[in-house]
């Protein structure tokens, strides 16, 4: 009997060791090889954060050279074809109709806050979030190239938000602000109309696009100026490696209903990273009724996230899944890769 017990314990130990070794071996074989990592790094360098070639166009709101187009190139790489759209509605329609494979939609700015129109349209169209990118907004003052002895412009045209973000610079240099339809559109107007007495505030991409000379770069009052974009497309995104999920929901009008909804995530240790309310526009109820946009870390199919969403469905008036997608790289990584040399470059023309 004792000998049999020893043999039984030995078999159990052997099984555990073999199982652990097999799991470790499978994990090692699944780990990316150096060649795979090199190919991935090359793909990111060529195709941006998206990491793969896109055959269709990517729609954005604004003129060529807009910050949204700069975000497109950051996410998909410089070789991607872009489709400028006059409005956010046109952007959604282009993706929904198949004219564009993706849409680059600005959601919020670290200085100006959320873009309400973008959030509202997510309720009107059945598109999913396929990715996220965060763009460092660096405003540049530009004008038509100066001739010898020609004075720099004293009037500056741009989108009102860009003008507000450069208010201290404009005041300290005695420049008069003129509101334009958008940033890149202002640059295009100056180039097309040969307006030599007006400068524009927009991106470096716009200067290249319209042949303008950058007079000064980095003129924004707050250097930590970022815009978060969502990449929209039809259907669900590919399985993300750093998953983040966005949903929109409405709770019943009774005490504790919102707390109960959020506790579905807290009980399961799901990390919530954003919660925002918006008035519900299409409702038969009088007065103000609110919907909530929620971002959390994890994929909607993960056990904890799935159970939290099921709990949300059981207690809310409605729930809409906007998508699970790859979260943008942390801002600390982006700032570490950036050099502020151009901001203080003494070779740039000063006003």
Please list the active-site residues: 227, 229
Alpha-helical regions (H) of 31-106: 34-47, 67-76, 88-97
Provide DSSP, 261-327. Answer: HHHHHHTTTPPEEEEEEEE-SS-SSSS--EEEEEEEES-TTSHHHHHHHHHHHHHEEEEEEEEEEEP
**Length of the chain measured in residues:** 351
Evaluate whether 50 touches 94 at the Cβ level (below 8 Å).
Answer: no
Whole-number CA gyration radius for the chain = 26
Q: How far apart are CA 73 and CA 71, in angstroms?
A: 5
Chain position carrying tokens 């809310």: 316
CA distance linking residue 115 with residue 120, whole number of Å: 9
């Amino acid at each position: 009997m004792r000998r049999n017990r020893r043999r039984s314990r030995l078999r159990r130990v052997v099984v555990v060791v073999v199982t652990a070794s097999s799991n470790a071996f499978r994990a090692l074989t699944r780990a990316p090889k150096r060649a795979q990592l090199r190919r991935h790094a090359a793909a990111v360098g060529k195709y941006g954060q998206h990491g793969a070639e896109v055959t269709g166009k990517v729609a954005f709101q604004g003129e060529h050279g807009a910050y949204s187009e700069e975000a497109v190139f950051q996410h998909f790489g410089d070789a991607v074809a872009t489709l400028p759209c006059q409005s956010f509605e046109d952007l959604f329609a282009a993706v929904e109709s198949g004219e564009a494979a993706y849409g680059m939609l600005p959601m919020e700015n670290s200085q100006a806050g959320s873009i309400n129109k973008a959030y509202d349209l997510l309720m009107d169209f059945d598109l999913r979030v396929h990715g996220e990118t965060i763009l460092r907004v660096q405003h540049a003052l530009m004008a038509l190239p100066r001739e010898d002895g020609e004075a720099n412009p004293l009037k500056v045209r741009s989108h009102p938000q860009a003008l507000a973000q450069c208010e201290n610079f404009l005041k300290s240099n005695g420049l008069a602000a003129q509101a334009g339809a958008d940033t890149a559109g202002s640059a295009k107007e100056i180039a097309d109309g040969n307006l030599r007495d007006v400068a524009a505030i927009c991106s470096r991409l716009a200067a290249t696009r319209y042949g303008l000379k950058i007079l000064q770069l980095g003129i924004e009052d707050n250097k930590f100026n970022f815009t978060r974009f969502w990449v929209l497309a039809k259907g669900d995104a590919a399985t993300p490696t750093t998953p983040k999920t966005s949903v929109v929901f409405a709770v019943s009008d009774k005490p504790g209903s919102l707390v109960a909804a959020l506790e579905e995530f807290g009980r399961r240790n799901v990390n919530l990273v954003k919660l925002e309310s918006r008035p519900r526009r299409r409702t038969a109820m009088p007065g103000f009724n609110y919907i909530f946009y929620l971002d959390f870390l994890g994929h909607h199919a993960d056990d904890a996230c799935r159970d939290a969403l099921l709990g949300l469905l059981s207690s809310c008036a409605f729930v809409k899944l906007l998508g699970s997608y790859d979260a943008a790289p942390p801002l600390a990584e982006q700032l570490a890769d950036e050099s502020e040399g151009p901001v203080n470059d003494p070779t740039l023309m000063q006003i």
